Amino acid sequence: MSFLHEKTPREAGRSDGVEAGGGQSQNAAMKATHDDTTFTLTGEIWSATYPLDELPKWLRWYRGRKARFPKAGNSYDATIAALEGLAAELGVTVDGN
């Protein structure tokens, strides 16, 4: 399962971060995929793979960057939305979620 996000869930008019039909939206701005032990974030110019148990840590980190650097505007939104979608799919609870 993968999650692709163009808009934040709020902008898309949904609260779960997943668009209707197939569990993914149609933009390749940020994609989060997983297997049994890892998850991978794939952006337009980069990708990185992390242990699955680090999902809450990375979601907190990206939320923290957005809060700490407001001049970055919406640059973290697609990553946060992809991570939130993955966390929701996996039933992972994250502090502040």
Over residues 20-34, the pLDDT tens digits come to 333 333 344 899 999
Query: Residue 44: what pLDDT?
Result: 92
Q: Per this entry, what is the length of the chain?
A: 97
Could you tell me the pTM of the whole model?
0.69
Specify the pLDDT at position 28.
Answer: 47
> What helix, strand, coil percent values describe the chain, rounded to 5?
35, 20, 45
Does residue 95 fall inside a structural domain?
Answer: no
Q: pLDDT under 50 in the chain at which residues?
A: 3-28
% residues pLDDT > 90 (the chain): 65
Enter the tokens of residue 23.
């569990």
Residue 29's pLDDT is 85
Range of the domain at 76: 2-90
Q: How many domains in the chain?
A: 1
Q: What is the pLDDT of residue 96?
A: 65
CA distance from start to end of the chain: 21
